[in-house]
Amino acid sequence: MSIVPLPEFDKWLRRFREVRARAVIARRIGRMKAGNFGEVKPVSGGVSELRIDFGPGYRVYFTQRGRTIVVLLLGGGKDSQQADIAKAKTLASTIGDVGDDEED
């Protein structure tokens, strides 16, 4: 499975000073790449929320394009969840196809 982060997601991830937080998030994304999405909840508008049980309850918002492409839209915490979902839905609606549906 291919994972494509948007610049908004990269910016969010880079702001972490705590190496462990970045490592936990990166490990979860690695599991997604292997097809194991873990605790995921669809939120609406084709956007799903990957819940990460670490720190303040980090969330990674993503949308899937075809069977093999997952676009990481942005991340956030439990405290900014509603605003993050609204922004993720807007981002998801502005992106087109990012790849084909063929398996690698």
CATH code for position 6: 3.30.2310.20
User: Are 67 and 101 spatial neighbours (Cβ–Cβ below 8 Å)?
Assistant: yes
- Which tops the pLDDT comparison, 97 or 68? 68
Residue 69 pLDDT exceeds 80: no
Q: Which residues pair with 2 in a beta bridge?
A: 69
Host domain of residue 81: 2-93
Specify the pTM.
0.81
State residue 93's pLDDT score. 87
In a domain, 84, yes or no: yes
Q: Is residue 73 part of a domain?
A: yes
* CA atoms within a 13 Å half-sphere pointing along the CA-CB vector of 79: 2
The pLDDT-based confidence of 97 (bands split at 50, 70, 90) is low
